[in-house]
Every structure is written in structure tokens, then in C-alpha cells.
């Protein structure tokens, strides 16, 4: 079985070396693909210099900040071309504990999930060090998405996941329209519409330890209207696996 963790990066020089090391030391083997958007802080250069020590470390460098959604789409296409069995999404900033990759893996590989989600909201609210306003916004967004879509997923905006590669292939990443947080929602929504087995695994999410937050306004509007648009479009879409 082969695993690939995809991490999009933008200005993560404080985190990336430690993250590469942490993933390489896990008891399950994971290849790692970094999608760097020409980070001004030199994250891409650091990754390239690490490649001589970590043969399973790969990088796709893009010209500029093109957003998380398109970064994942490039990563997914690369992972499918390279025939990985399990494809993971994770952040570089240690909000996601790399050790949880192993639990996500077993949830798919042994417990039969098609998509395992590292969930903050499965048993209460497991978010550490986020300001209350941000926790509330994220939590309410999850409720809103559940109401509009009917999906029974507690953490709909989560970005820590393991997909069986077949799920990604059938989602057809190029068809996902949303970027930013909406991207994470639309990926889950499409997997759910396709009838895949989705399992949430409780995780503790910690605010980034180092580096600068990329959270900005505009996200609210995208998520609010984007989810309604996504639901509407789904009424005219036929979801089929091949
Ligand atoms: N390639 C690429 N990566 C990005 C982009 N925006 C964010 N990222 C990366 O995507 C991951 C998640 O972004 P974060 O900035 O941590 O988003 P967040 O967790 O909502 O907010 P903060 O942690 O407060 O910044 C991190 O690894 C970022 O470096 C982008 O435009 N391009
Ligand atoms: Mg973060």
C-alpha cells in the first residue's frame, strides 16, 4: 500500500523542516508532496534542500499564490498519476498533529472507510488556542453546511483527511468549483453524493504554532453563498462512479 500526504505551503519556513521530519518518523510510511506557491520566505528552497535527505519528499512549485483549492487539485492529479492508494490532505502549520495521519490511515485501510476526516467537532469542540470568535465561526459554519446540504458530517470544513484514491478519481478534482474553505466542503459533499463511506475520527486541532495566519475576510461570503450555490447545482447534477 502506498500513501501520499499533500501539504500546500505558503510562507511556512518556520514549520516545514520539522513537519517533514515528523512525517518521516511515523510508524507507517508516507510519501510527502509539497505544493508551494513561490513562498516569499523561501519555503520551496528549504524543501528542495531537504530532498537529498528524504527521498520520498516531492515538490510542485507554482508561480505565485494561487490558493489552497487549486494547490490540492494539482496535488491530487499528481497523486493519481503516480498510483498512490491513499491520498492525505494536511496543513503545514502543526494545527494537524502528524501522528494522527496513522489513525486516519487505519480508518480507511482497516476499518473500511472511503474517506476519513480528522474532526474537531465529533466529541464537543476540540480546538486549542483559537480565539473564541474563530471557534464560533467555524462551528456555526459547520452547522450551516449541515442544514443546507443534509450531510451528516460534523466538521464539514476540516482539511485533515485520508481518501481512498478511488474517491478522488471519481470526484474528478478539476470539477470542484470552490476555493478556500468552500473547497473542503465541496470535496466532502461530492464524496457523500457519490455514496462513499465517510468516517470522522476525533482529533485535537491546535492553532498554528509558528508563522503568519492567512485567515482573511471574504472567506465568510465565499462559504455562505458558495454552499447555497453548490446545493443548487447538485440538484441538476448526476453523481456517478466509474
Ligand atoms: N500552495 C498554497 N498553500 C497555501 C495557500 N494558502 C494557504 N496555504 C497553506 O495551506 C495550509 C492551510 O492554510 P492556513 O494558513 O494554515 O489556514 P488556516 O489554518 O485556516 O489559518 P491560519 O492557520 O490561521 O493561517 C497551510 O499549510 C498553508 O501554508 C496558497 O494560496 N497556496
Ligand atoms: Mg492553519
pLDDT tens track for 77-93: 999 999 999 999 999 99
| pLDDT at residue 1, rounded to an integer | 72
H or E segment and range at residue 60: strand 57-61
Kindly give, in sequence order, each residue whose CB lies less than 8 Å from that of residue 148, ignoring residues fewer than 6 positions away.
Answer: 227, 228, 231
| pLDDT at residue 195, rounded to an integer | 97
Ligand 1 centroid from CA 214, angstroms: 6
The residue whose CA is least distant from atom 14 of ligand 1 is 214
- CATH number of the domain where residue 24 is located: 3.90.550.10
Residue 239: inside a domain: no
Residue 241: inside a domain: no
Residue (of 213, 220, 223, 218) closest to 92 by Cα position:
213
Residue (of 92, 231, 78) closest to 168 by Cα position:
78
Give me the domain span that covers residue 125.
3-234
Q: Report the domain count for the chain.
A: 1
pLDDT band at 103 (very low <50, low <70, confident <90, very high): very high
User: Which atom of ligand 1 sits closest to the CA of residue 207?
Assistant: 23
Tell me: pLDDT of 49 over 80: yes
Tell me: pLDDT of 140 over 70: yes
Q: How far is CA 171 from CA 60, 62, 158, 240, 241, in A?
A: 22, 23, 17, 9, 8
User: Which atom of ligand 1 sits closest to the CA of residue 213?
Assistant: 25
Residue (of 194, 36, 42, 7) closest to 115 by Cα position:
194
Entry pTM: 0.95
CA distance 1 to 188: 23
- Any atom of ligand 1 within 6 Å of the Cβ of 10: yes
Kindly give, in sequence order, each residue whose CB lies less than 8 Å from that of residue 132, ignoring residues fewer than 6 positions away.
Answer: none
Residue 72: inside a domain: yes
Residue 62 C-alpha cell reads as 507554482
CA distance 57 to 35: 11
Ligand 2 centroid from CA 210, angstroms: 10
The residue whose CA is least distant from atom 9 of ligand 1 is 9
Residue 71 C-alpha cell reads as 494547490
Residue 240: inside a domain: no
pLDDT tens track for 146-197: 999 999 999 999 999 999 999 999 999 989 988 777 899 999 999 999 999 9
Amino acid at each position: 500500500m502506498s500513501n501520499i500526504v499533500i501539504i500546500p505551503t505558503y510562507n511556512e519556513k518556520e514549520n516545514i523542516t520539522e513537519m517533514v521530519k515528523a512525517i518521516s518518523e511515523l510508524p507507517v510510511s508516507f510519501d510527502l508532496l509539497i505544493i508551494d506557491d513561490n513562498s516569499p520566505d523561501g519555503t520551496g528552497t528549504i524543501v528542495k534542500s531537504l530532498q537529498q535527505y528524504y527521498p520520498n519528499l516531492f515538490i510542485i512549485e507554482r508561480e505565485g499564490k494561487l490558493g489552497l483549492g487549486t494547490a490540492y487539485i494539482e496535488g491530487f492529479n499528481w497523486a493519481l498519476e503516480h498510483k498512490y492508494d491513499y491520498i492525505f490532505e494536511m496543513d503545514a502549520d502543526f494545527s494537524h498533529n502528524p501522528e494522527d495521519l496513522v489513525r486516519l490511515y487505519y480508518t480507511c485501510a482497516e476499518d473500511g472507510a472511503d474517506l476519513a476526516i480528522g474532526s474537531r467537532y465529533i466529541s464537543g469542540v476540540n480546538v486549542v488556542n483559537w480565539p473564541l470568535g474563530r471557534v464560533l465561526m467555524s462551528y456555526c459554519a459547520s452547522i450551516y453546511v449541515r442544514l443546507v446540504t443534509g450531510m451528516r458530517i460534523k466538521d464539514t470544513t476540516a482539511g485533515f483527511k485520508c481518501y481512498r484514491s478511488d474517491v478522488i478519481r471519481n470526484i474528478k478534482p478539476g470539477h470542484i468549483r470552490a476555493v478556500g474553505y468552500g473547497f473542503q466542503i465541496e470535496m466532502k459533499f461530492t464524496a457523500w453524493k457519490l455514496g462513499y463511506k465517510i468516517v470522522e475520527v476525533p482529533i485535537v486541532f491546535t492553532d498554528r504554532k509558528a508563522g503568519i495566519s492567512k485567515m482573511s475576510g471574504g472567506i465568510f461570503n465565499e462559504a455562505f453563498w458558495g454552499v447555497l450555490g453548490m446545493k443548487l447545482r447538485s440538484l441538476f447534477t448526476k453523481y456517478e462512479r466509474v
